[in-house]
Amino acid sequence: MINEDHFVLLVTRKLVGVATPAEIAELDALLEQSPVWKEKYHHLRHYFEDPLQVSAENTEQALQLTLNKIKSPQPANVHPIGSAKSGRWKWIAAVTAAAVLIPVGVFLFITANNQTTDAPRQQWVKRSNGKAIRSFIELGDGSKIWLNAESVVTYPEKFRGNSREIFLEGEAFFDVASNARRPFVIHLKNGTIKVLGTSFNIRAYANEPVQTAVVTGKVAFIPRYEDNKKIGDTIFITPDVKVSYTASSGTLIKGNTIGSEDKAWTEGRLIFRNATLEEIGASLERNFNKRVEFEANAPKQFRLTGSFHNNSLEDIMYYLSKSKAFHYRITDSTLVIGE
């Protein structure tokens, strides 16, 4: 007989999009077998899908606002779950609903289920960079993170348990402290990366392929497919090898690279090798905080190569335009590229 904690964990992982195919299959089977579980599932999903207008920067405040909303009178078509544990279910629903806005809410839920009531709550830290900003972070275990512009990393103040798990959106370079007994796990929107101790770069911006390149050591990349029935293979990556994964098409490419160039941005260098001008424009927009606009489609597909070290945007565009003829103009807030 499945216990309630495990059922809630399965539901929460599915609603926030991190459940494995095996977990989804297990949950679907439970919902088919038991009307009780099915009712509880719909109860949780109701709060998850409710469009809460909450600022996601403060997890505790978001959770409290969600709790207050749940405590208010319910619509007639929503049937509360009657049991001695209804308060617990409301709290779980609050965490689930908040998680759609702030992944930290899920972290608090998972941590709470793994601790006794007397144990201290796991504290999570969220660091985010805007455009044209880079930062350096040293974790409690001695691991180091260089966080690129327009990127977010979430990590615990202190690692507990048998693994070291963090969450990344955007790009970061990692130098992970070796600990064979506690694997280091990085959760991405479209995959997971597991290491023991190594240095590597991860590029995982929204609407771009996930790219992972190793400088030293070895990492395992597990893609998350949009087809939940397809189980992701584990791809091992060694030094000077890069994996690029596009979730929308399920395309995974493994090829050679120069590891030191993939971390060049941590040293103020921008290196483009046979990159399209559209790809270069996206990088320049993040690094210089200027919106990039194309007045024509043709220049987007121009392929260019160049290496720059702490150069101004004006310098970079001047040299790029000499290698492939196109026009551009730079304003206070915009870089406009035309034919």
Residues paired with 74 in a beta bridge: none
pLDDT tens across 11-41, in order? 777 765 666 777 788 888 888 888 888 877 8
* pLDDT(288) > 90: yes
Q: Measure the CA–CA gap between 100 and 114, rounded to whole angstroms.
A: 21
Q: pLDDT digit string (tens) for 225-238?
A: 876 656 668 899 99
Q: How many CA atoms lie within 13 A of 85 on its CB side?
A: 8
CB 29 within 8 A of CB 7: no
**pLDDT one-digit tens code per residue, 266-286:** 999 999 999 999 999 999 999
What digits encode the pLDDT tens for the residues 208-221?
Answer: 999 999 999 999 99
Query: What kind of architecture, by CATH, is found in domain 124-262?
Result: Sandwich (2.60)
pLDDT in tens, 39-93: 778 766 665 554 333 333 343 444 444 444 434 444 333 333 334 444 444 445 4
Percent of residues, the chain, with pLDDT higher than 90: 50
pLDDT at 1 over 60: no
Q: Is the pLDDT of residue 118 over 50?
A: no
Rounded to whole angstroms, how far apart are CA atoms 195 and 134?
Answer: 24
pLDDT in the model for residue 267: 92
Regarding the domain delimited by 268-338, which CATH topology (the fold level of the hierarchy) does it fall under? Phage tail protein beta-alpha-beta fold (3.55.50)
Question: Rounded distance, CA 289 to CA 283, Å?
Answer: 10
Q: Is the pLDDT reported for residue 100 higher than 70?
A: no
Q: Could you state, in order of their start, the residue ranges of all structural domains in the chain?
A: 4-113, 124-262, 268-338
C-alpha distances in angstroms, 91 versus 44, 61, 67, 126, 237?
Answer: 10, 14, 7, 22, 41
